[in-house]
Chains A and B, each alone.
Chain A
Amino acid sequence: MIDIQNVSLWLGKNIHVLNDISASFERGQTNVICGPSGSGKSSLLRCINRLEKFQKGNIIIDGHSVLDAATDIYKIRENIGMVFQHFNLYPHLNALNNITLAPRKVKGKPRIKAENQAMQLLERVGIKDKAYSYPAELSGGQQQRVAIARSLAMEPKIMLFDEPTSALDPEMIGEVLDVMTDLALDGMTMVVVTHEMGFARKVAQKIIFMDNGQIIEKKKTDEFFTQPEHTRTKDFLNRILSYV
């Protein structure tokens, strides 16, 4: 469903952020990407919906190249939800309007319909009572759940998560991971950048380890934990798992 073919990305002339990345993500599966800070995980996610324009390689989504001039990239983005580390809710809109903005403006959904859908989504992520709260009045975990609802409102086929829990207090991580787990079990195609290895182990089918703009390890979940091939992966796992 997502086919990443030899993608290279430079920022400016000299900063080589992604170096010949290839991977494919199947429909209905959850894929986890992990790796040290600065390894290019966020950049890779942004390439998938072409928020970042890469210089080499290609990414094919459901048969459409994101680089092709004939591809309507806006249409592609409608089908790919994205959730960010720092939530990025619109601070001037309440939760309800954060969620209804894109369905109304992009899809032309009537307000009433969009609001009904938003209330259902808020119920699904467990914060229906916060519909009229502004982001500044919500906890981190609540904001992230609104952000997930905002993405889901476009009824995407794919969801990208960029470290959705790493800005959260420990007691709120669970509530967000629960929502994500439900989504995965519902058959959503997901690409999740995270260091929550408990979540990865339970939910993901495939795990990718990145370092320095390259994919070091690409394995089925159980193999990733039981038989990692590269020393860098082992080191990373040791460091990250020693506290679990």
Chain B
Amino acid sequence: MDWEVISRNLEFLLGGLVVTFQLAAIALAGGLFLGIILGLARLSSNRFFYYPATAYIHFFRSQPLILIIFWFYFFVPILFGKPMSAFIAAVIAFIAFEAAYFAEIIRGGIQSIPNGQVQAAYSTGMRYHQVMIHVVLPQALKNMVPALITQSIVLLQDTSLAYVIGLHEFLRRTSLVDNREFRSVELYLFAAGVYLVICFVLSILARRLEHKKYKRV
């Protein structure tokens, strides 16, 4: 074993990790935002919101992620007649894909809020968006933190799929180093270790937040 290969290429590899985190963070924020809108639409009694949201969610949940990534990288640029960078394509693909999963988590979270909360809020004269923003979503999101973190862990691992369109994220860079140095065992063990540590930290975070109740600290 030659662990030197890691330290020799550490900067390059960690640079890939930065790309991975950037992609994951943007996809998480965007996916969550779009997911909230889709989740609300799916609970709407207005069929102009309900049906499109439902169709969207079912469609994206039926497709393999890798295909969605291809789609946005190869087909959408043709549609608009403009090439797209791998990073932008990956970001859009991930937001579009993850939103479908977040939407279902959020729908469940919203449904778990007792109706009395909504009634109390409406009875003070609040509008729909105020009830959602100030009363329902803060509670729902808090209840959903464990599920959202689990989904975020999956998301973080899934970002490695962006290698298919040549995005130089962490795993892609690991394999590039391997092509040069022929040190597969060390390199991929290192990669496994990195993913393990990240997921471990995130799941500890999830568990701690799970037990946090509505109280002053």
Contacts and interface: CB of A to CB of B under 8 A. Distances in A.
Interface of A: 46, 49, 51, 74-75, 77-78, 80-82, 84, 86, 88-92, 94, 101-102, 105-106, 132-137, 147, 150-151, 154, 160
Contacts of B216: 94, 132-134, 137
A74 B127 contact: yes
A90 B117 contact: yes
A78 B111 CA distance: 26
Given A88-B117, A134-B215, 20 more contacts: A49-B122, A77-B123, A77-B125, A78-B124, A78-B125, A81-B124, A86-B116, A88-B119, A88-B120, A90-B121, A92-B214, A102-B124, A102-B126, A105-B126, A106-B125, A106-B126, A133-B216, A134-B214, A136-B215, A151-B123
Contacts of B116: 84, 86, 88
Contacts of B166: none
Interface in B152-182: none
Contact of B123 (A51, A75, A86, A89): A51
Q: Is the interface of B mostly helix, strand, loop or mixed?
A: helix
Contacts of B121: 90, 102
B123 A105 contact: no
Contacts of B138: 92
11 contacts: A74-B125, A74-B126, A78-B125, A84-B116, A90-B117, A90-B120, A90-B135, A102-B124, A134-B215, A147-B120, A154-B124
Interface in B133-149: 134-135, 138-139, 142
B213 interface: yes
B138 to A, nearest CB: 5
Interface residues of B, number: 22
A150 B126 CA distance: 13
Contacts of B114: 88
Contacts of A154: 124-125
B119 A75 contact: no
Contacts of B213: 136
A137 B139 CA distance: 17
B26 to A, nearest CB: 27
Contacts of A89: 120
A160 B216 CA distance: 31
Nearest to A45: B123
B130 A106 contact: yes
Nearest to B119: A51
Contacts of B126: 74, 102, 105-106
B122 A77 contact: yes
B106 to A, nearest CB: 16
A75 B125 contact: yes
Give me the 4 closest cross-chain CB pairs, A-B, nearest first. Answer: A78-B125, A102-B124, A82-B123, A88-B120
Contact of B134 (A91, A101, A134): A101
A46 B119 contact: yes
Contacts of A49: 122-123
Interface string B28-49: 0000000000000000000000
B125 A92 contact: no
Given A92-B139, A92-B214, A51 B122 contact: yes
B135 A150 contact: no
Nearest to B141: A92
B125 to A, nearest CB: 4
A144 to B, nearest CB: 12
Interface in B181-201: none
A81 B124 CA distance: 7
Contacts of A133: 216
Nearest to A104: B134
Given A102-B125, A102-B126, A82 B139 contact: no
